[in-house]
Amino acid sequence: MSSGRSSRKKKDAAVAANKRPPAAASPPQRQTQRRRQSAKEPEIQDIEDLFFSEEEAQRIRQALLEWYGLNRRELPWREAEEDVERRAYRVWVSEVMLQQTRVQTVVQYFHRWMSKWPTIHHLAQASLEEVNELWAGLGYYRRARFLLEGARMIVAEEVQFPKTVSQLRKVRGIGDYTAGAIASIAFKEVVPVVDGNVVRVIARLKAVSANPKDSSTVKKFWKLAAQLVDPFQPGEFNQALMELGATVCTPLSPSCHSCPVSIQCCALSISRADSSVLVTDYPVKVVKAKQRHDFSAVCVVQILGDEELSEGHRTNNGFLLVKRPDEGLLAGLWEFPSVLLAGEADLVTRRKAIDQYLNKHFRLNPRNTCDIVSREYVGENIHVFTHIRLKMYVELLVLHLKGGMKDLVSKQGKETVPWKCVDAEVLSSMGLTSGVRKVYTMVQKFKRETVAL
């Protein structure tokens, strides 16, 4: 069966499922249904025609809330908190952390965050560097910056924590989903939330065969979610709906036998009536955009000064780190000096690019300002972002400054980027991004193996 015919078949089945109470058809009935379909093709139901009746919504609310009360996971941001504004802050932090990140990973970060900044006022006093260091490893660092900027904005206005979706949407970095979560969970506003889990649950409940990424389809999901929200327990219901998607109605292996709303599920009804259609066919799979392939020359620069201990170890030395621009990918984070390349490049080309970078920004020139103690190619590593596949060529460059570390400071010019020099102990304890950590781990391993030889 071609993909076009398969898609049409799912749509036709969805029409039938949404027009009758979900129930498994007997074999004779299935044969009759197929004969009718071959004789006359039913009209394809548009997503705009889908809705939850009040009776249907009430049944789903009751079943889902009962299930959630018995099966909810114990998570730190769900703990009882009498101070409603503090609860709102905890919900905000947790929801931002949970975007694109697994729950198990978030738990430890959430505990550390709340220990360091227990209230929005504590967070507002933090620096971006402190926030980035604690966030290191969670990825999508713009989320951390928006949290800090939003906290500063709320505190600076000297008003109460925003309580409604319309108020929350005015805060830097808070979108429709986060606003809905905070407003419903902390302040009991009767508003929906729509994330990937909610889209999946609703797409299966209504057998939605439209592209879930299309803007008009997304708006319809919000309308359908709004029809379901429990008017008395909006926060509990929204959490229940997301919990169902995360633990039962999963992308690849849904546990339909233990689903509290399986009776209302059109996708399950269709699947039982037609073995060629699976519950996991909903929502429709969207082809992901092809990742961009980037290439980078990364140079771990270790600078040695003149001061030495009797054992021969230098005390005035460290690793050079540069700060990324305040806008764009990994904004404001620390990394080793690196240069983006036009594509695959040989060693000579890469070293020429790095040398130009170091001379331009730090006036580090082996002929005049420093001596090369050693320069070794360490290896390559692939680091994957959501939309970028970055191939990093890593080398270790050990330099001896003729004028010591002070010489590096004195030679700063207009082209100098923000930088700092840290020793190995500090570097190991810094909150580095996973990509920078990979590079440093490669260098450490390379050094150990070189010494062993």
Q: Active-site positions?
A: 95
Q: Name the percent of the chain in helix, strand, coil, to the closest 5.
A: 50, 15, 35
H or E, element range at 301: strand 292-304
Q: What angle do CA 12, 18, 19 make, to 5 degrees?
A: 95
User: What is the per-residue DSSP string for 125-157?
Assistant: TS-HHHHHHHHTTS--THHHHHHHHHHHHHHHT
Which letter, b or e, does each residue of 22-56 get, where b requires 16 or more Cβ atoms within 10 Å of its Cβ?
beebeeeeeeebeeeeeeeeeeebebeebebeeeb
Q: Is the peptide bond before 162 cis (omega within 30 degrees of 0)?
A: no
DSSP state of 274: -
Pick from 274, 281, 267, 283: which is nearest to 22 by CA? 267
Task: Tell me the backbone φ, ψ of residue 156, rounded to 5 degrees.
Answer: -65, -30
The answer to whether 112 and 134 have CB atoms below 8 angstroms apart is: yes
Q: For residue 416, how many C-alpha atoms fall within 13 Å in the half-sphere facing its CB?
A: 15
Do residues 132 and 333 touch, judged by C-beta distance below 8 A?
A: yes
Q: How would you class 425 by CB atoms within 10 Å of its CB: exposed for 0-12, middle for 13-18, buried for 19 or more?
A: exposed
Rounded-to-integer distance, Cα 95 and Cα 168, Å:
14
- The torsion region of residue 272 among left (phi > 0), alpha (psi -120 to 50) and beta comes to alpha
| b/e code 166-186 from CB counts within 10 Å (16+ = b) | ebbeebebbebbbbbbbbbbb
Phi-psi sector, 30: left (phi>0), alpha (psi -120 to 50), beta: alpha
Give the contacts of 292 (CB within 8 A, at least 6 positions apart).
387, 388, 389
